[in-house]
Amino acid sequence: MATATPQDPDRPAIDTALVRRLVDTQFPQWSGLPLRRLEQAGSDHVIHRLGEELSVRLPRHAGAIGQAEKEAEWLPRLAPHVPLAVPVPVAVGKPGLGYPWPWMVARWLDGEVATVAALADSYDTAVELAGFLTALQRFTPDNAPPRTRPTPSRPGTGRHGPPSPGSTASSTRRP
């Protein structure tokens, strides 16, 4: 006989029945739409297809908390400045029914999952991705949070920050 194990509070159980109840109670206008869980394509969210035009994304671990609100604020502002489609947020759900974090409903983006196998020999995809990343780096909206960049580790030390004077790291630079 199997015994139940306590659920990890940092990784709540997310099944289709829970997602259905969350959508139906918070967004009754979509309660009649079919809902189906998608195969796991990432590690941050559980994704369900809601009808033909929507997706529901719920963070699967504590490290993804806050993404729904950030995406709802920033994706509509970012979309006109990048050459590829980004998800269009439609609603942000609230914690409830035992699910602890905000979650998002967005417009469905048609396409294929970007797997290593699918993209292995795709020059065109690499060019498109480079264009997207270039546009993303140029995006400087008003009221943007300050940009921060991680400082690379100092070679051989495991410590972060610029090399100290006289370190071997400074002698490895090319003129």
Position 113 scores a pLDDT of 73
The answer to whether residues 104 and 57 touch, using CB atoms and an 8 Å cutoff, is yes
pLDDT of amino acid 114: 73
Name the residue with higher pLDDT: 41 or 98: 98
Q: Which two tokens mark 52?
A: 């033909």
H/E stretch holding 92: strand 89-93
pLDDT score recorded for residue 117 = 78
Q: Is the pLDDT of residue 23 over 90?
A: yes
The first and second tokens of residue 75, run together, are: 């994706």
Residue (of 106, 67, 109) closest to 89 by Cα position: 106
pLDDT at 4 (0 to 100) = 35
d(CA 93, CA 37): 17
Tens of pLDDT, residues 43-92: 899 999 999 999 999 999 998 988 999 999 999 999 999 999 999 999 99
- Express each pLDDT in 98-148 by its tens digit: 999 999 999 999 887 777 777 777 888 888 889 989 998 998 877 766 666
Query: For residue 96, which of 150, 174, 22 has the smallest C-alpha distance?
Result: 22
Which comes out higher in pLDDT, residue 41 or 96?
96
H helix runs in 92-153, sequence order: 116-119, 123-138
pLDDT computed for residue 112 by the predictor = 77
Q: Cα–Cα distance between 131 and 74 in angstroms, integer?
A: 19
